[in-house]
Amino acid sequence: MTVRRDFKEPAGCRSDQVIGREELFTAAREQLGRGGSVLLHGPAGIGKSTVLRALAGEYGGAARTVLRCSPTESESHLPFLALADLLGLVLDEVSERLPAAQRTALESALTGRGESTLQRDGLALRLAVLSALRALADTGPVLVVADDLQWLDPASAELLGFAARRLGDTPVRMLCAVRTEGEEYDRHLRASPPDTLAVRLGPLSRAQLSALLDHRGYTGLPRSTVRDIHRTSGGNALFALELGRALAENPTPPRPGEPLPVPTSLRALVLNRLEMLSAEARRTLLVASAGARPTLALLHSAGRDNAEAETAQAAELGLLATEPEGPAVRFAHPMISAALYAEAPAQDRRAAHAALSTAASDPIERARHLALATHGTDPEVAARLAEAAALARDRGAPSVAAQLGLLAARHTPADGTPSPEVMRLAAAEDAITAGELDLARDIAREVLSRTTVPEDRVRAWIIVIDTAGHAMTEVDAIFPQALADAGDDPRLLALVHYQLTWRALLVEGDFDEARGEAAYSAELAARAGDRYTELMALAFQAQIETLMGHPDAPATIRRALEEPQDPRVACHHNGAGYSRFRWLIMSDQLAEARATVTALLREVRRRGSVESEVHFLRGVAETELHSGHCGRALDLARESLRMARDTGIGEVASAVLTSLAEAAGGEVDRALDLAREAVAHAEEDGDQMYVSRALAALGHAQLVAGDVSAAVRSLRRVREVEQGLGITDPARGRWHGDLAEALVRSGEIAEAQDVIDGTREIALRLEREGVLAVLDRAEALIRAVRGEQDAAATQLTSAQDRLGKLGYSLEEARAAFALAQLRSDTAGPTSYDEAARLFRRCRALPWLRQVVAAAATRPAEAPPAPASAPDGLDGLDGLASMERQVAALVMEGATNREIAARLFISVKTVEATLTRVYRKLGIRSRVDIVRLAAGRRKT
For position 873, what pLDDT does the model report? 46
- Would you call 416 exposed, middle or buried from its count of C-beta atoms within 10 A (0-12, 13-18, 19+)? middle
Ranges under pLDDT 50 in the chain = 1-15, 114-116, 119, 324, 826-830, 860-875, 937-939
- Would you call 710 exposed, middle or buried from its count of C-beta atoms within 10 A (0-12, 13-18, 19+)? middle
User: Distance (Å, rounded) from C-alpha 682 to C-alpha 680?
Assistant: 6
The residues, ordered by sequence, that sit 6+ positions from 392 with a Cβ below 8 Å of its Cβ are: 364, 398, 400, 401, 404
User: Distance (Å, rounded) from C-alpha 540 to C-alpha 503?
Assistant: 13
SS3 readout for 390-401 = HHHHHCCCHHHH
Phi-psi region of 628 (alpha: psi -120 to 50; beta: other; left: phi over 0): left
User: Distance (Å, rounded) from C-alpha 539 to C-alpha 572?
Assistant: 10
**pLDDT digits 0-9 by tens, 25-43:** 888 888 888 888 999 988 8
User: Distance (Å, rounded) from C-alpha 240 to C-alpha 110?
Assistant: 40
Looking at residue 39, the DSSP 8-state letter turns out to be E
Which has the closest alpha carbon to 707: 745, 655, 678? 745
SS3 readout for 588-638 = CCHHHHHHHHHHHHHHHHHHCCHHHHHHHHHHHHHHHHHCCCHHHHHHHHH
For position 193, what pLDDT does the model report? 84
For position 712, what pLDDT does the model report? 96
The residues, ordered by sequence, that sit 6+ positions from 805 with a Cβ below 8 Å of its Cβ are: none
Omega before residue 564 within 30° of 0, cis:
yes
- Would you call 762 exposed, middle or buried from its count of C-beta atoms within 10 A (0-12, 13-18, 19+)? middle
For position 187, what pLDDT does the model report? 66
For position 876, what pLDDT does the model report? 52
User: Distance (Å, rounded) from C-alpha 412 to C-alpha 418?
Assistant: 8
Q: Cβ distance 587 to 731 under 8 Å?
A: yes
What is the number of alpha carbons within 13 Å of residue 678 lying toward its C-beta?
33
Q: Cβ distance 656 to 673 under 8 Å?
A: no
For position 44, what pLDDT does the model report? 80
For position 757, what pLDDT does the model report? 96
User: Distance (Å, rounded) from C-alpha 633 to C-alpha 645?
Assistant: 18
Phi-psi region of 489 (alpha: psi -120 to 50; beta: other; left: phi over 0): beta
For position 245, what pLDDT does the model report? 82
Phi-psi region of 151 (alpha: psi -120 to 50; beta: other; left: phi over 0): alpha
**pLDDT digits 0-9 by tens, 780-814:** 999 999 888 889 999 999 999 999 999 999 999 99
For position 594, what pLDDT does the model report? 94
Which has the closest alpha carbon to 647: 206, 25, 85? 206
Omega before residue 418 within 30° of 0, cis:
yes
User: Distance (Å, rounded) from C-alpha 530 to C-alpha 497?
Assistant: 14
User: Distance (Å, rounded) from C-alpha 315 to C-alpha 58?
Assistant: 42
User: Distance (Å, rounded) from C-alpha 536 to C-alpha 569?
Assistant: 7
Q: Cβ distance 653 to 693 under 8 Å?
A: yes
Starting at the edge strand that comes first in sequence, how are the strands of the sheet with 142-146 ordered? 65-69, 142-146, 172-179, 38-42, 197-200
Q: Cβ distance 370 to 388 under 8 Å?
A: no
**How many whole angstroms from its chain centre is CA 847?**
23
Q: Cβ distance 553 to 542 under 8 Å?
A: yes
